[in-house]
Chain A
Amino acid sequence: MSNINASGWRPTTPEAGESNAATATGNRALMLEEPLIFEIGSISKTGVDFGDAPTGTSRLGGLERHQDIGLPGLSEPETVRHYTRLSRQNYAIDLGLFPLGSCTMKHNPRLNERMARLPGFADLHPLTPVDACQGAFEVIDQLAHWLITLTGMHSVAMSPKAGAHGELCGVLAIRAALDARGEQARKILLVPISAHGTNPATAAFAGFTVEDIPATDDGRVDLEALKARLGPDIAGVMITNPNTCGLFERDMRAISDAVHAAGGYVYCDGANFNAIVGRVRPGDLGVDAMHINLHKTFSTPHGGGGPGSGPVVLSEALTPYAPLPFVEKTADGFRLVEEETAGEHHAGSFGRMTAFHGQMGMFTRALTYILSHGADGLRQVAEDAVLNANYILRSMEDVLDAPFAKSGPCMHEAIFSDKGLPEGFSTIDIAKGLIDEGYHPMTVYFPLVVHGAMLVEPTETESKATLDQFIHAFRSVAERAKGGDPAIRTAPHFAPRRRLDETLAARKPVLAWKEPVGAQAAE
């Protein structure tokens, strides 16, 4: 019985030893490798229980499927494990600061999720007879009302599916308004070079041509240059305010007045509305159309790249051209204005942009958020977002070049350049260095007007302690880059993957899984 460990002894004093040893699995403790579903699943496996279909006459008209599709299945436990393992290879706002400038990664309240999942919203068909979905129309109407109130505009088009879709809505309304005036010759939209790439792409998609507006040295639109370009060929301007350098366009009212005087319209990219919500109303600045990214200002989740939601607030001048369908409040409740009823009051509408009513699942979340914060909370949202960004700006400007720091305070985001980094070091190295420090990097190389731009947006949902920790890490990484630390150039070292070969991915695109070529076929 000598093999019985009667004393219960086990080693309890650790030794550090070799720390870089390879593992047999490729896993590194909690960092778990995960194959593709195509490598672990099979077409005969399933995670659902269906009985066999009752037999009866087939009405498939000879189109019955005989070939396999090749879709792998997994049991439920395998499925849950596969996606849980994948999830752990992602950074997320739930894990830490996500200072991606202009993308506004703020906390996503879970009450929003719960409200969107109420069966009365989540399990409601878009073509439900209007008398049976009055509550859904009421949500749309209430959200529309608050968006109009917060922006000081005349109306709002709720159906655009995302920010860029909202831009499209806005410029189509401008086109429709010009056409209604008989001014088909106005074909040029002026767009600052600092604009997000969607602005020129949207303008082109809608049949406009795009011309750049020059910027001043302090990072804002050059008002005099803009005025000089206005004329009978100009349809309008697309301006982001606060702009992508994180600055408020001081001359916005003068820009709007000049554009209006010259017969054009003002589109405002509202991506950065979160910096001014509750404090400034774009309607007071002469804006004709502005999309609101509900996933930015109003905290609906980004979900790894969508879905977004991009309602567009409109001035009185553009309201007659708003898209279909929309909800209208009447004495007998809410009704839906669609193609058939548009003729009565809304003959100028430019038409339908999407099959149904827009991103209802995002409307319920955004309304929940607005009601949670209220008027006082939303004002505090903007103030704290701006305060946090300026705190980072002033805590970093002695280490990194801050090209507009002398122009005054920033709004919700602080911008830095790669000036002062040694030969061979670039913005990307600071970004990848931050990954090893446990942070998602800032937006890099955007906007184009700043060389090697680093655009840092902390948002209002970060505590001072979190900001202080981030600043400590950001300063450390920036100083290592400035000092020429070669380890920074190969960072990240501790992420699930090292830097990935994007050139290879683009040169030989592999966009779908294929069965590995068998040994025989390879010969």
Chain B
Amino acid sequence: MRYLPLTPTDRQEMLGVIGARSIDDLFVDVPGVAQLDGPIHGLPLHASELAVERHMTVLAKKNLAAGDAPFFLGAGAYKHHVPASVDHLIQRGEFLTAYTPYQPEIAQGTLQMMFEFQSQVARLLGCDVANASMYDGSTACWEAIVMARRVTKRGKAILSGGLHPHYVSVANTMAKFTGDQLVTSIPTLSATPDTDDLIAQIDDNTSCVVVQYPDILGRIADLSKLAEAAHAKKALLVAVVTEPVALGAIKSPGEMGADIVVGEGQSIGVGLQFGGPYVGLFACSEKLVRQMPGRLCGETVDAEGKRGFVLTLSTREQHIRREKATSNICTSSVLCALAWSIHMTLLGEKGLRQLAAINHAGASAAAEVLAGVPGVELVTPRFFNEFTLKLSKEARPVVRDLAAKGILAGVSLGRLYPGEASLANGLIVAVTETTTKEDVETLASALREALA
């Protein structure tokens, strides 16, 4: 039992100090019926590092990792190259094994990093301020809807059909219990998002319009008119970014008038990890900050006047406000935020813009190649690094068949919108700097064969 330092002699000595005859004396408050009299049944006994590593490696090898295949999956999680130093730095014990910085005098490392992260996120999303991170994009999106309700004191949110269907699903789950009214729709296989429809639906009861940028099909559209229309009715514009690398190439939602911008930060610094842990981004304008959920780090000075950082505005939070808190959130996703911040520092503005340009050029070239395959039509002419194809047959079985051949072809709309006949032939394809020309050729010939 390599993680337990006490020796049998230590235990006996300590029981003596405590005045107990045996360890069972310390569990006297547990009713006898609930006490197990030996090691729990069914679980094997302790195992060596080597034995556990063998067990886990067998399981890992049963999966087709992104790096082991021509890989085109996106739809809310993206494969990007993460520099080696990122993973090295986040594994420093002082970051990895620290707790929430409740004692700021001995937690300035985490606190300064949080302040830098907040500043980077705010700039990237085009807002004044950002918090120290949320669980992920989907939960951040719901928190933004709740925040808009608090700000506007209205209960109806209009969700774009271009919003990730799992994000819509999370919001629907929560709204059932909170009584929020959600107006939702599914996307159509068209070149442009539903901006005009959304504008037409805004009324005096609308708390916010929630729009994804780029949207689930990869489409991008100017948000300025939508922001103006929302503001004209005193509603807020909430923008959701699931691929923040895009903002190195295109204008940020904040620059186009969004009041709250949330996002999934995974694509910078954080690996795919089968869906988590990820890092939710949450930013807004300065005047809304006291309604913002989640942890916040602020600058201050110490008793000698030196600059330092502390957790602040905690009067919004559950440990002070209890049932009156803005949210029940207790943790954020600090280690992932650290990875995000380090990766963003390595990129810098220059690297981010180059990375975004490479992604866009690669995706544009891939779209042309794939659209040349008989039976494939490019639905979305304007996109960043992800686009939607319409196949001449149902896409979901095609994706399954190609996976069996070792090609991860993309995310079928049938997987995301099961039972929606109008979307069944849709395939979302993501192309990043990790995608090679050969990968694209492999996919093109596989599709040619599958659709023949």
Contacts and interface: CB of A to CB of B under 8 A. Distances in A.
A127 to B, nearest CB: 5
B338 A303 contact: yes
A96 B89 CA distance: 20
Contacts of B106: 89-91, 435, 440, 492, 495-496
Given A285-B34, A351-B176, A83 B342 contact: yes
A127 B113 CA distance: 31
A38 B116 contact: yes
Contacts of A44: 348-350
A307 B382 contact: no
Interface string A26-49: 000000001011100111111110
A261 B93 CA distance: 49
A372 B122 CA distance: 42
B68 interface: yes
B20 to A, nearest CB: 7
Given A247-B29, A352-B166, A279 B36 contact: yes
A493 B355 CA distance: 46
A296 to B, nearest CB: 11
Interface in B21-76: 23, 25-31, 33-36, 39-47, 49, 51-53, 55-68, 71, 73, 75-76
Contacts of B403: 128-129, 131-132
A355 B170 contact: yes
A121 B60 contact: yes
A340 B413 CA distance: 13
A150 B347 contact: no
Nearest to B51: A371
Contacts of B36: 278-281, 379
Contact of A205 (B109, B137, B327, B351): B327
Interface stretch (B231-239, B294-302, B443-451): B294-302
Contacts of B62: 120, 134-135, 138
Interface string A125-160: 111110111111011001000100110000000000
Contact of B298 (A95, A278, A284, A506): A506
Contacts of B118: 511-512
A86 B99 contact: no
Given A43-B348, A206-B177, A340-B419, A122 B271 contact: yes
B140 to A, nearest CB: 10
Nearest to B127: A512
B110 to A, nearest CB: 4
B66 A87 contact: no
A198 B298 contact: no
A372 B47 CA distance: 5
A38 B129 CA distance: 15
Interface-central residue, A125, A250, A276, by most chain B CB under 10 Å: A125
B138 A118 contact: no
Interface in A93-127: 93-95, 98, 100, 103, 105, 107-109, 111, 113-127
A180 B208 CA distance: 31
B123 A354 contact: no
A42 B33 CA distance: 65
B328 A168 contact: yes
Contacts of A56: 361, 364-365
Nearest to A66: B251
Interface string B289-308: 10000011111111110101
Contacts of B295: 305
Contact of B351 (A50, A138, A388, A432): A50
B421 interface: no
Interface string B412-440: 00010011000000000000010000000
B325 A201 contact: yes
Contact of A379 (B40, B67, B367): B40
A63 interface: yes
B52 A115 contact: yes
A133 B61 CA distance: 9
B222 interface: yes
Contact of B348 (A41, A53, A324, A370): A41
A149 B36 CA distance: 12
B105 A500 contact: yes
Nearest to A167: B328
A469 to B, nearest CB: 13
Given A124-B272, A162-B331, A201-B323, A47 B94 contact: no
A50 B408 contact: no
B300 A505 contact: yes
Contacts of B115: 36, 511-513
Given A46-B346, A210-B323, A87 B95 contact: yes
A197 B325 CA distance: 9
Contacts of A417: none
B98 A127 contact: no
B245 interface: no
B53 A82 contact: no
Contacts of A127: 73, 75-77, 411, 415
Interface in B97-126: 97-110, 112-113, 115-116, 118-120, 122-124
Contacts of A53: 354, 357-358, 360-361
Given A161-B139, A351-B169, A71 B348 contact: yes
A90 B274 contact: no
A207 B17 contact: no
Interface string B2-28: 111111001101110111100101111
Nearest to B349: A43
Contacts of A329: none
Contacts of A119: 60, 65, 67-68
Contacts of B313: 506, 509
B95 A303 contact: yes
Contacts of B73: 125, 127-128
B396 to A, nearest CB: 9
Contacts of B44: 371, 374-375
Contacts of A216: none
A108 B33 contact: no
A304 B341 CA distance: 14
A130 to B, nearest CB: 9
A474 to B, nearest CB: 15
A11 interface: no
Contacts of B298: 505-506, 509-511
A306 B306 contact: no
B49 A111 contact: yes
A74 B345 contact: yes
Interface stretch (B152-160, B199-207, B314-322): B314-322
A337 interface: no
Interface string A186-210: 0000000000111011111111011
B300 A323 contact: no
B94 A498 contact: no
Given A115-B52, A305-B331, A90 B45 contact: no
Nearest to A303: B335
Contacts of A82: 345
Contacts of A461: 3-5
A316 interface: no
B439 to A, nearest CB: 15
Nearest to B387: A59
27 contacts: A54-B365, A59-B363, A61-B381, A87-B92, A124-B272, A135-B59, A136-B63, A175-B177, A201-B327, A307-B336, A338-B418, A352-B166, A352-B173, A354-B138, A354-B166, A360-B274, A374-B39, A377-B1, A381-B4, A388-B14, A409-B20, A500-B300, A502-B310, A506-B298, A511-B289, A511-B312, A513-B116
Closest 10 CB pairs of A and B: A73-B348, A356-B275, A303-B335, A135-B62, A120-B60, A94-B93, A351-B173, A126-B275, A307-B277, A340-B418
Given A44-B349, A161-B276, A351-B173, 14 more contacts: A51-B358, A69-B252, A87-B95, A90-B106, A111-B53, A113-B91, A123-B67, A197-B317, A203-B323, A281-B34, A301-B335, A355-B76, A356-B275, A495-B106
